[in-house]
Amino acid sequence: MKAVIHSRYGNPEVLRVTTLERPVPQKNEVLVRVKAAGLDYGQWHLMAGKPYVVRLARGLTRPKQHVLAWT
């Protein structure tokens, strides 16, 4: 599957499109095909790592989770 990932905090230039392994749904889960997605202001905070308190939960020097998403 295609995904937009980031391996460091910063401006939109840190984002890149890559291909990841397709996730396998567990019992009582479904796999949903997404045709379009967008970024909101909350996702921008995850990408930029600001305010810096965001980094306490997401990784101090670089993001623990590379795919931008609220989990």
- For residue range 5-26, list pLDDT tens digits in order: 888 998 888 889 999 899 899 9
pLDDT in tens, 33-67: 888 877 777 778 778 888 888 888 888 888 887 88
Among 29, 14, 25, 69, which residue's Cα sits nearest to residue 58? 69
Q: CB neighbours of 21 closer than 8 A, spacing ≥ 6?
A: 1
DSSP helix, strand, coil percent of the chain (3-state; round to 5): 25, 15, 65
**pLDDT at res. 2:** 86
Q: CB neighbours of 70 closer than 8 A, spacing ≥ 6?
A: 42, 43, 46
pTM more than 0.85: no
> What does the block give as tokens for 41?
């202001």
**pLDDT at res. 65:** 79
**pLDDT at res. 28:** 94
